[in-house]
Structure formats: C-alpha cells, structure tokens
C-alpha cells in the first residue's frame, strides 16, 4: 500500500503536504510545533489535520506491519501463492487481512481438524467438487476405519461435512459477501433481561435496521448489556442468506446438492453467523467510539478554551449536605486567601450563621464573584447564595461551575503537592474557584476522561480515548500559550516538547533561580536540550520580559526576521511593547516580496504580523463570556413558551444540554436546534455557546426540561 497516497486521498490534500508532514513527524516534531511553525512545509495545515494525519499514519503503518506478519506466516507454512500475495497487497483493512489469514491461522482442535486427522479430507474434496462417479454412500464407505473411529458411512459424511462447514466459514470471499448481506438486511435487536434501570427503557423491546442504528444507541445498548439489563443480538432473514450461499456455492448439475445444503446451514449457524455477529458488533462499536470521541474532543476543546474571568476575587463554594459547604476565597491570581466550612443546607440548616460568615468574607476580601459547584446540594446552595446576595450592599454575582473532576484532582498527588496545607474537600473548593478564573490552567490538572463533556466515555477503549483527549489538551495549551513564570508543572507538561520530568525541572529551576528572564535561559534547565527548546520556545511566554519578543508567539528562530520586519515598516521593539504597531499589517503591501526579503515564508510573515500587532493576545477572548447570575430560577418557575438565555453545557449526538439557571440542564433535541436538517448538533452549536432557548416542556417528577432554539 502506498501510505502517502492513501493519506492524500483520505485527507483531500496534496501529496507534497503529506510527504513533508510525515517527514516532520518522523523527525520527532510535535503536532503543535508543526502546525504553528512549519506552515511553509505543510502548506498551512491546521493542528487538527496534522493530528489526524499523525493518527492515520500510525494506523496505516500498523496495518502494513500486520500485512507483513501474515505474509511471513503463510509463507512459512508453505501455502503462499501468487493469488494470496495479490489479495494481501489489495487488502485495505484489518478485517480483509484477517479474512485472508483465517484459513492459515493456528487454531485449537476443532471438529474439522479432528475429521482431517481421521483422513476425511479427500471425501470432503469429492463432495465439494460436486461430481461423483459412484454414489456418495458407496464412496463414503471407503473411509470407514474403526481405528480412526470412523464407524459408519454416517460418521464419514458427518466428518467431511464438518471440514466443509469450516472451509466455507473461513473463506474470505464468502465472509465479505455475507457481511455485506447482513449490513444490508439484518436488524439490531435488544430485549430486557431485568427491569432495573429506566435509562434503558426504550431498549426493552427495540429493533432497528443494522445500517441505521445511530452510534449513541450502539453504545447505550452495549452498556445495558454489560450491566446485565439488556440482551442484544443481530437477527436476519436466514432463508435469504441460505439462498444466497446456495446460489454461490452449489452448481446447477451438482451431484452433492443435498449434503451441501446441510453443510451450508450448519456452517452458517454454528460458525459463520456467530463469528460475523461478533465482528460486526465490534466494528459498529469501534465506529461509534470514533464518533463519540470526536464529539468528546470538540466538547473538551470548547470547555478548555472558555474565556477566563480575570480580575475578580472569587469565593468558591463546594456544596454538600451533611458535611457542609466548603468555602475558599481566592485572589485574582488564584492564590487561596482563606477557607472555612458553612452549613446552610439540610440537615443542619444554619442559614443565618452561614450568611454572617460569607458576608464577612465578601466584605473583607472585596469578593466580586461566587463560584458554586454543580454537584450534590448545588440547587440548595444556589438558592442560599441568591437570597444572601440580596443583603450584600456591593455588586456580587454568581456562576454555576462544572465541578466534574474536582474531587479527582483534590485527592490526587498533584493536588496534595500543590496544597499540602489543605484537606481534600478544601482543595476541591479551590479548584472550583480557579477553574472560573482560568479554565485551561486548572482543568489540565485533571484526567480529561474525568471531565464530563462526552457520552459513554467509560465504555470506550480507554487507551484510544486517553490519547485523543490528551491531544486536544496539548493543542489547546499550545494554542493559547503558557506563562513560563507562573505555569504549574501540569500545564507545562502539555507544552510542545516538554514531558513531566522536564516540567518539574523547570519548576525546580524557577524556585532556585527566580523568574526566567529570557527564553534562552530554558537551555539551562536539566534535560531540556536544543531539540526540546526548538519545540517549546515559541509556546512559552515571559510576561514583562525586557526582551519584548519573548512576550509574543514569535519563535526565537525568527527573531532576526521580526526585527528586520519592524525596521522595514518604521517601528522598533519598544513600539511593540507599548502596543503602537496595530497597523503593521497595513504597511505590508507585498507580503510575497517582503517574506522573500526576510528569508521566511508568507505564512510565517502573516503570523508574525499578527503577534506583533497584538502581543500576548489570548485567543479565548473571542469566545462568548460566561453567563453570570444574581438570582435563582427553579423548575417550578418555568412556563411553556418562556424564553431564556442559557449556556451550552454538553453536546451529544442527539442534541445539546443547556444550563438555563435551574440546576437541571434542559435538552434541545437535534430536531429543535434549527430549521434546516443537520446530521450532528456540532454543525450549529458548540459547548460554551450562550444561546436563546424557549421552554417546550417541563416534567418535574422526572426532572426533564425540553427546550427549543427555533422560532425565537
């Protein structure tokens, strides 16, 4: 297989783009570095395309490795023919290669192998040839051998039938033909085995064409089956299958039609169908996982890139009932100022005492914003906060924070290392506050799989999911850039070219020598050599550095070109520091000529201009600001037809969940997102979007809210 050609066709890009990107990846360059600082070589491929190319490159190389292993195994067994070589060369998927290898794969003893040991292969070949010179029973009688436990004609014919049934089941062409037939006409069917979880109610008696089952239903049924609540299987019209196989296998003038009809039925029921059912369900699950991971990736990206709410002193509240609400006040930089515990909820209901404590903290530290975790007792805590704020003389607003993963972080070694002086519950409160101030910096401390913005993430291939989500975090961190002098080791470890060990070494160097004064100083950090420096330098910023370009996304390898660019346009580095080069791009009349004069490519020139015009620009500022609230709304307050402003909290295959300030997120079904037909909600809306919704239905007992985004 020509891997370069395959990648070119799949991604719809030029061959040179693929070749150059593959070469860069093979040299050990990271995806963020390639997509940001090697645009001339890749033809300006974005990070998502480069990452997809890297993933598919590895997948195709694994396929080639598998092809080579199968080739070698068949050759070693002495069965390799020109026809098999051609089939292997033309196989484009793992399934095709597995089908070709199936007859030659070492097996445990089967009914067919036992029959072969008894010398019944010639009889099977005769039946398969379908031309008999003597009646079949007479020919079969020749194979009776008491020593081999072939005691009768029936024994001989049964053994030969077993050989043929396995031969049919192992034939690659039959398997592909029947796999296609199943995908065309079979049904996915699920039945309840016990009535325990209403979540699976729609699957208690469910059937749908195999080719039409959406990915989220595949994953839902898998989970229900795993939990023992559902029985899931594939059902088909066997008569059509048998007829198709008979027409393919049995000749018109066959002498052995009757026994072959029996062989086909046995081979299908005992071997082929169970095997194909497993394969198809496995393939459907893998495809569903790929789709779910894609949604998870997009949701995680939007969550990580939510705009930080800077410049505010935050009072974070981690709600609870019996153990009380944990409180942490953190300053504008995320530093904890004071912690406490209050008990405004049941069973203690010390509302007045809690109000007194919190109002004192608000006054003492000039709190601007309260961040409330959305876990247990969140609804009750929100009501308490809303009532309390009516008594606060200054303007203080609140926001509901997604606390998914906060408990994971607080109990982790990372949490303990960062805040050894606080217990687990107070660390969680600090995290809830900090993730509002800077979502990216805080959320990188948590395993991405623990951040609840996907569907069925615990049922997927965890290695594949972890790698995919880790790539998203890496792209987000490098896309935003990292302050070298304030970043935590967790944040630094996602920077291009920096691993966990080097991140700790950077922190140790910073603690021993004080703040970094220049990017070049990174080369003094143990285990951070020239290659790692090349990868990471452009993504690390040094705020307030005397070396102005160290504050920007301009890579050190391009400093000379940047200085020459400024000089050509009549500016200095001091002008950049003073934000006086906002019209730099307008002075570049011929980008191609100027790029050539500077010895760089046009893409690098355009990126350089953008960085110099707006040094330290945060791309997250383009996203919609979070909705801040000062009063609470309950489900009981909702009226059908009411129009509200909400924030998209999760995007899944069949719709989006929107926070409208009533603790229970409402569902906008995919059919209610817009007037035009869409295949997936992500075509129209993304996590973090602030949207207008209208209430369609309210089911208080089931805690379900139906919303629409149409006709508002």
Residue 381 near residue 319 (C-beta atoms within 8 A): yes
- Residue 454's pLDDT is what? 66
Instruction: Give the CA dihedral 615, 302, 538, 434, nearest 10 degrees.
Output: 80
Start-to-end CA distance of the chain, whole Å, equals: 53
Last residue of a domain, one of 414, 437, 460: 437
Closest CA relative to residue 637, chosen from 655, 614, 662: 662
- Residue 531's pLDDT is what? 97
Regarding whether 136 and 276 lie in a shared domain, the answer is: yes
Last residue of a domain, one of 622, 648, 666: 622
DSSP assignment, residue 622?
Answer: G
Report residue 346's pLDDT band, with 50, 70 and 90 as the boundaries. Answer: very high
* Neighbour count for residue 664 (Cβ, 10 Å): 17
Residues 583, 591: Cα–Cα separation, whole Å? 15
Query: Token pair of 332, please?
Result: 């504008």
Candidate from 200-214, 367-381, 620-634 with smallest mean pLDDT: 620-634
Residues 546, 562: Cα–Cα separation, whole Å? 16
pLDDT digits (tens, 9 = 90+) for 52-84: 999 999 999 999 999 999 999 999 999 999 999
- Residue 74's pLDDT is what? 96
Phi, psi (rounded to 5 degrees) for 338: -160, 150
In sequence order, what are the residues at sequence separation of 6 or more whose Cβ sits closer than 8 angstroms to the Cβ of residue 337? Answer: 313, 329, 330, 331, 365
Regarding whether 566 and 539 lie in a shared domain, the answer is: yes
510 three-class SS: helix
Residue 550 near residue 542 (C-beta atoms within 8 A): yes
Residue 68 lies inside a defined structural domain of this protein: yes
Task: State how far Cα 194 lies from the chain centre.
Answer: 32
**391 exposed, middle or buried (CB, 10 Å; 0-12, 13-18, 19+)?**
exposed
Residue 455 lies inside a defined structural domain of this protein: no
Report residue 363's pLDDT band, with 50, 70 and 90 as the boundaries. Answer: very high
Query: Token pair of 165, please?
Result: 């049934």
Angle formed by the axes of helices 257-266 and 238-249, nearest 10°: 130
Report residue 711's pLDDT band, with 50, 70 and 90 as the boundaries. Answer: confident
Residue 224 near residue 195 (C-beta atoms within 8 A): no
* Neighbour count for residue 691 (Cβ, 10 Å): 20
- Residue 587's pLDDT is what? 92
324-333 burial code (b ≥16 CB/10 A, e <16): bbbbbbbeee
Residue 571 near residue 584 (C-beta atoms within 8 A): yes
Residue 480 lies inside a defined structural domain of this protein: no
390 three-class SS: coil
For 84, the domain range is 3-104
Residue 178 near residue 125 (C-beta atoms within 8 A): no
Report residue 616's pLDDT band, with 50, 70 and 90 as the boundaries. Answer: confident
Regarding whether 334 and 206 lie in a shared domain, the answer is: no
Closest CA relative to residue 442, chosen from 427, 457, 454: 427
Say what percent of the chain tops pLDDT 70. 99
Own/partner long-range contacts of 416-423 (Cβ < 8 Å, ≥24 apart): 418/445, 418/488, 419/336, 422/336, 422/339
Own/partner long-range contacts of 259-263 (Cβ < 8 Å, ≥24 apart): 259/127, 259/136, 259/157, 259/161, 260/127, 260/128, 260/130, 260/164, 262/161, 263/127, 263/161, 263/164, 263/165, 263/168
DSSP β-bridge partners for residue 571: none
Own/partner long-range contacts of 340-347 (Cβ < 8 Å, ≥24 apart): 344/380, 344/381, 344/384, 345/319, 345/320, 345/321, 345/377, 345/380, 345/381, 345/384, 346/321, 346/380, 347/321, 347/322
Q: What's the average model confidence in pLDDT over 585-607? A: 95
Residue 481 lies inside a defined structural domain of this protein: no
Regarding whether 167 and 203 lie in a shared domain, the answer is: yes
Q: Before 520, cis peptide (omega within 30)? A: no
Domain count, the chain: 5
Pairing state of beta strands 314-318 and 230-235? unpaired
The residue that leads in pLDDT, 455 or 401, is 401
Q: What's the average model confidence in pLDDT over 222-240? A: 94
Residue 468 lies inside a defined structural domain of this protein: no
Regarding whether 31 and 62 lie in a shared domain, the answer is: yes
Residue 484 lies inside a defined structural domain of this protein: no
Residue 49 near residue 31 (C-beta atoms within 8 A): no
Residue 118 near residue 149 (C-beta atoms within 8 A): yes
Residues 447, 444: Cα–Cα separation, whole Å? 7
User: Domain containing 26 — which CATH number?
Assistant: 1.10.10.650
Residues 581, 574: Cα–Cα separation, whole Å? 10
Closest CA relative to residue 267, chosen from 249, 283, 284: 249
pLDDT digits (tens, 9 = 90+) for 306-326: 999 989 999 999 999 999 999
User: Domain containing 200 — which CATH number?
Assistant: 1.10.3500.10
Residue 382 lies inside a defined structural domain of this protein: yes
- Residue 374's pLDDT is what? 86
Residue 213 near residue 188 (C-beta atoms within 8 A): yes
User: Domain containing 669 — which CATH number?
Assistant: 2.40.50.140
Regarding whether 648 and 611 lie in a shared domain, the answer is: no
pTM of the model: 0.85
Residue 693 lies inside a defined structural domain of this protein: yes
Regarding whether 257 and 126 lie in a shared domain, the answer is: yes
pLDDT digits (tens, 9 = 90+) for 420-450: 999 999 999 999 999 999 999 999 998 888 8
Last residue of a domain, one of 85, 104, 123: 104
Say what percent of the chain tops pLDDT 90. 83
In 657-705, where does DSSP find H-type helix? none
Residues 124, 164: Cα–Cα separation, whole Å? 6
Residue 383 near residue 344 (C-beta atoms within 8 A): no
Residue 540 near residue 510 (C-beta atoms within 8 A): no
In 13-152, where does DSSP find H-type helix? 15-26, 31-37, 39-42, 47-77, 82-90, 94-101, 111-117, 121-129, 136-141
In this structure, is the dihedral angle defined by the CA atoms of residues 87, 91, 96 and 98, taken in order, positive or negative? positive
Angle formed by the axes of helices 47-77 and 3-11, nearest 10°: 140
Pairing state of beta strands 690-699 and 540-541? unpaired
User: Domain containing 423 — which CATH number?
Assistant: 3.30.420.140
Regarding whether 246 and 374 lie in a shared domain, the answer is: no
Regarding whether 282 and 155 lie in a shared domain, the answer is: yes
pLDDT digits (tens, 9 = 90+) for 164-185: 999 999 999 999 999 999 999 9
Own/partner long-range contacts of 597-605 (Cβ < 8 Å, ≥24 apart): 597/564, 597/568, 598/561, 598/564, 598/565, 599/561, 600/40, 600/558, 600/561, 601/39, 601/40, 602/40, 603/39, 603/40, 603/44, 604/37, 604/39, 604/40, 604/558, 604/561, 605/565
Residues 666, 706: Cα–Cα separation, whole Å? 6
Regarding whether 560 and 431 lie in a shared domain, the answer is: no
DSSP assignment, residue 269?
Answer: I
Regarding whether 117 and 100 lie in a shared domain, the answer is: no
Residues 317, 301: Cα–Cα separation, whole Å? 25
Regarding whether 123 and 257 lie in a shared domain, the answer is: yes
Report residue 456's pLDDT band, with 50, 70 and 90 as the boundaries. Answer: low
Closest CA relative to residue 437, chosen from 314, 319, 315: 314
Report the chain's mean pLDDT, rounded to a whole number: 94
């Amino acid at each position: 297989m020509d891997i370069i050609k395959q990648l070119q066709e799949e991604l719809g890009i030029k061959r040179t783009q693929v070749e150059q990107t593959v070469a860069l990846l093979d040299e050990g360059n990271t995806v963020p570095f390639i997509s940001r600082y090697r645009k001339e070589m890749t033809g300006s491929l974005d990070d998502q395309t480069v990452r997809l190319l890297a993933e598919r490159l590895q997948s195709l190389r694994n396929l080639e490795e598998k092809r080579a292993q199968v080739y070698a195994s068949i050759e070693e067994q002495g069965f390799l023919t020109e026809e098999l070589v051609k089939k292997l060369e033309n196989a484009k998927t793992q399934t095709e290669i597995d089908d070709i290898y199936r007859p030659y794969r070492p097996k445990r003893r089967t009914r067919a192998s036992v029959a072969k040991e008894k010398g019944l292969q010639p009889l099977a070949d005769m039946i398969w040839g379908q031309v008999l010179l003597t009646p079949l029973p007479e020919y079969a009688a020749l194979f009776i051998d008491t020593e081999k436990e072939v005691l009768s004609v029936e024994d001989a014919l049964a053994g030969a039938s077993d050989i043929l049934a396995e031969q049919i089941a192992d034939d690659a062409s039959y398997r592909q033909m029947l796999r296609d037939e199943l995908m065309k006409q079979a049904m996915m069917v699920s039945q309840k085995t016990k009535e325990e979880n209403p979540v699976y109610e729609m699957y208690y008696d469910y059937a749908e064409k195999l080719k039409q089952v959406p990915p989220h239903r595949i994953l839902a049924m898998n989970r229900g089956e795993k939990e023992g609540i559902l029985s899931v299987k594939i059902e088909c019209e066997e008569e059509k299958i048998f007829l198709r196989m008979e027409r393919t296998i049995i000749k018109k003038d066959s002498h052995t039609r009757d026994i072959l009809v029996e062989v086909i039925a046995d081979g299908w029921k005992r071997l082929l169908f169970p095997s194909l059912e497993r394969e198809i369900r496995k393939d459907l699950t893998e495809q569903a996982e790929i789709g779910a991971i894609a949604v998870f990736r997009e949701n995680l990206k939007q969550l990580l890139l939510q705009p930080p709410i800077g410049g505010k002193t935050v009072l974070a509240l981690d709600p609870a009932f019996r153990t009380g609400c944990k409180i942490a006040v953190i300053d504008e930089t995320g530093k904890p100022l004071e912690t406490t515990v209050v008990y405004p909820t049941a069973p203690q209901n010390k509302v007045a005492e809690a109000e007194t404590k919190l109002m004192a903290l608000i006054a003492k530290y000039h709190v601007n914003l309260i961040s409330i975790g959305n876990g247990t007792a969140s609804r009750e805590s929100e009501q308490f906060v809303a009532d309390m704020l009516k008594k606060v003389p200054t303007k203080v607003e609140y926001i509901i924070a997604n606390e998914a993963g906060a408990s994971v972080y607080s109990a982790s070694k990372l949490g303990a290392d960062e805040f050894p002086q606080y217990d687990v519950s107070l660390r969680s409160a600090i995290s809830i506050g900090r993730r509002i101030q800077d979502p990216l910096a805080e959320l990188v401390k948590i395993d991405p799989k623990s951040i609840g913005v996907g569907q069925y993430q615990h049922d997927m291939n965890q290695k594949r999911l972890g790698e995919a989500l880790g790539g998203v975090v890496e792209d987000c961190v490098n896309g935003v850039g990292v302050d070298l002098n304030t970043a935590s080791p967790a944040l630094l470890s996602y920077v291009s070219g920096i691993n966990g060990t080097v991140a700790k070494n950077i922190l140790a160097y910073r603690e021993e020598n004080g703040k970094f004064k220049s990017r070049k100083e990174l080369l003094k950090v143990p285990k951070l050599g020239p290659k790692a420096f090349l990868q990471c330098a452009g993504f690390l910023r040094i705020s307030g550095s005397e070396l102005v370009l160290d504050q920007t996304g301009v890579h050190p390898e391009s400093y000379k070109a940047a200085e020459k660019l400024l000089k050509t346009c009549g500016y200095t580095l001091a002008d950049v520091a003073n934000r006086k080069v906002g019209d730099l791009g307008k002075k570049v009349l011929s980008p191609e000529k100027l790029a050539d004069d500077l010895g760089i490519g046009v893409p690098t020139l355009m990126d350089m201009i953008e960085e110099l015009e707006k040094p330290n620009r945060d791309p997250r500022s383009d996203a919609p600001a979070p909705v801040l609230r000062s009063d609470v709304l309950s489900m009981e307050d909702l009226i059908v037809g009411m129009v509200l402003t909400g924030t998209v909290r999760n995007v899944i295959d069949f719709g989006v969940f929107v926070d409208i300030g009533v603790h229970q997120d409402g569902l906008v079904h995919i059919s209610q997102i817009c007037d035009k037909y869409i295949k997936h909600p992500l075509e129209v809306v993304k996590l973090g979007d602030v949207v207008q919704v209208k209430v369609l239905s309210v089911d208080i007992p089931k805690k379900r809210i139906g919303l629409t985004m149409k006709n508002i």
